[in-house]
A and B are shown apart, each in its own frame.
Chain A
Amino acid sequence: MTTKTCWEAVCTVDDLVADCGIAVWTEDGPVAVFYLPHRLPALFAVSHTDPFTGSNVLARGITGDLDGEPVVASPLYKQHFSLRSGVCLEDASVRVRSYPVLLDGDRIRLAVPVRQPAAVAA
């Protein structure tokens, strides 16, 4: 199998909630999409799975910034994750996957890896 990236449409602007996250299901599993209207860029996407518990909850955390870095605080045990890199501020050895995200018309697209069967060699 090879991995290839595709820009998957996951939701529309109507689904977004300012300064909050929402969860979407993608080819790569659950992803949290955040909309911070007072920043540029305003859209961020990281895995929805809290790496400390394995529960799918990160979209439900409080967003903000620490020292200028946009973050979300896990709603379970409150660790902060950078919305840009996915790195945990309390424990740099832990990170969640982050995804490139873009606005296409009123659709939100994420760059997610898609697994495809490898082309059979002739």
Chain B
Amino acid sequence: MSKQTLIVIGNGMVGHHFLEQFTRTPAAERFEILVFGEEKQLAYDRVHLSEYFAGSSHAELAMATADWYADNHIELRLNEPVTAVDRDNHIVTTPKGAYQYDELVLATGSYPFVPPIDGKDDANCFVYRTLADLDAIRASAAEARTGVVVGGGLLGLEAANALRSLGLQAHVVEFAPRLMPVQLDGDGGDLLRQKIEALGVQVHTEKATTAIVPGDAARLRMKFADDSHLDTDLIVFSAGIRPQDTLARACGLEVGERGGIVIDNRCTTSDPHIHAIGECALWNQRIFGLVAPGYTMARTLAAALNSDPQGAFSGADMSTKLKLLGVDVGSIGDAHGQTPGARNIRFHDEQAGHYRRMVVSQDGKTLLGAILVGDNSHYDTLLQYALNGITLPPNPEILILPEHQGGAPGLGADALPETASICSCHNVTKGDICGAIDAGCTDLGGVKAETKASTGCGGCAALLKKVVDSELEKRGVAVSTDLCEHFPYTRQELFHLVRVNGIRTFRGLLRQYGKGQGCDICKPTVGSILASCWNEHILATEHVPLQDTNDTFMANMQKNGTYSIVPRIPGGEITPDKLIVLGEVAKQYNLYTKITGGQRVDLFGATLSELPEIWEQLIAAGFETGHAYGKSLRTVKSCVGSTWCRYGVQDSVAMAIYLENRYKGLRAPHKIKMAVSGCTRECAEAQSKDIGVIATDKGWNLYVCGNGGMRPRHADLFATDLTDDQLIRAIDRVLMLYVRTADRLQRTSVWMENLEGGLDYLKQVVLEDSLGIGEELEQHMADLVGSYQCEWKTAVEDPEKRKRFREFVNAPSLKDPVQQWTSERGQRRPELEVASL
């Protein structure tokens, strides 16, 4: 059987993509393929056209090579435009000949619209679509100083940036009152304009060009309808695109009122042997001026030519996310709120230069569209909501509010796009996690083993668990809130059981309420609960096996197995004598010394056996443990306050020292940090702490539930102008409630966010005592404060406890041979390379 002939007119992005797809299908065997291109060059990436000015060559932008065409037996005739189609006889004509076809594909793209203005054909007027256009612009720009782009849309702004990159003073002239009128609204357009003007591109809106004439100060003068004018050396028209349907019109194919070759869901035109794809095609009265819908059409047609019923073209999303002249711009769906009943939520920060608008349905449940200018970080999430019709949260504004105003992170794992990065150490996305679950992982451990997520720094553990839980739930797998396989209870329930039943050991709890031997999840959790309830020494014989290594040895383990030592320096205040002791000890044991971010000193590189010796010296000098290892109070940072600072209104150092001494040693679900500032200038950064205190001229303002770290959150103002006593009482209650009810490894911020009723509820319980437990909480705290002991002091005095600090019990004088040292900036540091995790 002799082969049929398939002719493709147009060798642009979509035409080429079609060939790539089609040649892989069985039907390709039945056809000789012949391609005509008007341009001189083989299909190239038009989306990245501007990179041509930045130095990319055609070869770099090209989508394939001549060899690829030859290998696939495709005859490619470049620089040979088709001038006519004879549908009756199935013949296309070019200046060089006439060719017979059986099936014809039109992939002729679009052409830039140039408004009918006198003078538009001047040698220094251009469009911005092809490599040839860019060559011409570059030649003209060589002798020019200024350039104007007519049209302030997406492509116009890109062209303006190109002119700027060619060293011209660039102007944008727009007919509409604002930039990007299709994608943006007034406020968005105004903000974009400000940003672009700040970059040195001048924007002229509401200007209708009436004529182009020779200029005075430059080659050309643009005259505007309002009698003003602008002199420029060259002009680029970018006033929109029109589908290239000339051939189709001439041969009588059905075209749209405003242009475009009409196609059906299979990309076939009104002639069953002629098909159209890409920007020249009109589907459902719509033109798609983006490449992705064109590619979808290309795949649809390749399938259709194989009589494959799959994948009818069903439209495409036109949402866009761009960086224009370095400015983030995003537009999603019904950005202008044209859906009947649509409502708007806007966030506009003129200071930061961020504008965000959400268009939501009348019932407030679905996101119809959105506009973003200045910051696209919300784009992915919003797009997910809009594309998938995900029901919006009851307070949808959180999706566009900045985080410190209660924004975005309140989102469930559900709303995260598949592409969201969950674990940055191992580059694991939500999609990877879903994949692992679909491949058979049914719990967190399985997902971790499969994807490696959360096996690096571990910082992503909470988020990973959220995503895994929500994905498992979605698949109908019951998600257990059990602490682990040994205890079918939550931390909060266990806390209650321990307290109410007076249970004092892990074994006791395990016997009554658990099974098996325990693990590294439940042991430290129960250890912390026991400490919060009864405050016995963490190295008491029955508690030792419960502690994480850092607690067991009351120091933080470093990557080579040595430890760091952080003595408490309450409020950051230290005498010269104590500083000297730190220096002497560090010198004696050759410890790397560093000032921490928490206003104290960290001494690194002590071996296990050195720890008690070092602490003996530190304790003798009046130091106590700093609990840098514990899930407990870390530091209370202070500013200098009223004793020295000219602005201070209260003694912030004294208060910080008081707080640090009061709450030191308090074991909690996670670490707790505090700070006290002496006035509203806030030098102690109290608003980034779990407990933040800021002096007022009447007393203290209390802030709660802030933190830095992985997901920073500003603390919330909790109560104002408190006396010292009121302040302490409020902090006692907040902390005790947190200790009793939070989940393991949950910091105060997440705890509060997950409390039903949130901040208001917390205020009721603490300030109004709505549950009537205020006194009990205070009493519990008083017991803990009263039973404080410096863990290190007790440990060094007890020979039994000291026995634990032998590196090798049978070789006391042996130094661990893997601990190799080198020196850096005059101090010692481990040489050990950490093997891949």
Query: What is the interface of chain A, defined by CB distance below 8 A to chain B?
Result: 10-11, 15, 17-20, 22-25, 30, 36, 38-39, 49, 51-57, 60-68, 70-71, 73, 75-80, 89-91
Contacts and interface: CB of A to CB of B under 8 A. Distances in A.
A38 B507 CA distance: 10
Contacts of B458: 77-78
B810 A73 contact: no
B548 A62 contact: yes
B834 interface: yes
A114 to B, nearest CB: 16
A48 to B, nearest CB: 9
Contact of B549 (A52, A56, A60, A67): A60
A65 B516 contact: yes
A25 B810 CA distance: 7
B808 A24 contact: yes
A52 B835 CA distance: 6
9 contacts: A51-B835, A53-B832, A54-B832, A62-B520, A63-B517, A65-B517, A73-B519, A78-B458, A90-B455
A33 to B, nearest CB: 9
B545 A56 contact: no
B704 to A, nearest CB: 31
Contacts of A25: 808, 810-811, 814
B559 A76 contact: yes
Given A20-B545, A68-B516, A56 B810 contact: no
Most chain A beta-carbon contacts within 10 A, residue among B546, B560, B810: B810
A57 B517 contact: no
A27 to B, nearest CB: 12
A38 B557 contact: no
B369 interface: no
A57 B561 contact: yes
A32 to B, nearest CB: 10
A38 to B, nearest CB: 6
Pairs of residues from A and B, 8 with the lowest C-beta to C-beta distance, nearest first: A19-B545, A75-B549, A64-B519, A73-B520, A62-B520, A55-B561, A65-B517, A25-B808
Contacts of A65: 516-519
A51 B522 CA distance: 25
Q: Is the interface of B mostly helix, strand, loop or mixed?
A: loop
Contacts of A55: 559-561, 818, 832
Interface of B: 445, 448-449, 455-456, 458, 485-486, 516-520, 522-524, 541, 544-550, 552-553, 557, 559-561, 803-804, 806-811, 814, 816, 818, 832-835, 837
A10 B808 CA distance: 10
A76 B834 CA distance: 11
Nearest to A16: B809
Nearest to B811: A25
Contact of B485 (A19, A38, A67, A76): A67
A99 to B, nearest CB: 14
Contacts of A56: 561, 816, 818
A77 B837 contact: yes
A70 B516 CA distance: 10
A61 B550 CA distance: 10
Which residue, B517, B544, B548, B557, has most C-beta atoms of chain A within 10 A?
A: B517
Contacts of A53: 559-560, 832, 834-835
B517 A17 contact: no
Contacts of B522: 64
A57 B544 contact: no
A90 B557 contact: no
Nearest to B457: A77
A20 B544 contact: yes
Contacts of A57: 549, 557, 561
Given A60-B549, A60-B557, 11 more contacts: A20-B544, A24-B809, A24-B810, A25-B808, A38-B517, A53-B832, A54-B835, A55-B832, A57-B557, A61-B520, A76-B559
Contacts of A76: 557, 559
A62 B519 contact: yes
B517 A90 contact: no
B173 to A, nearest CB: 60
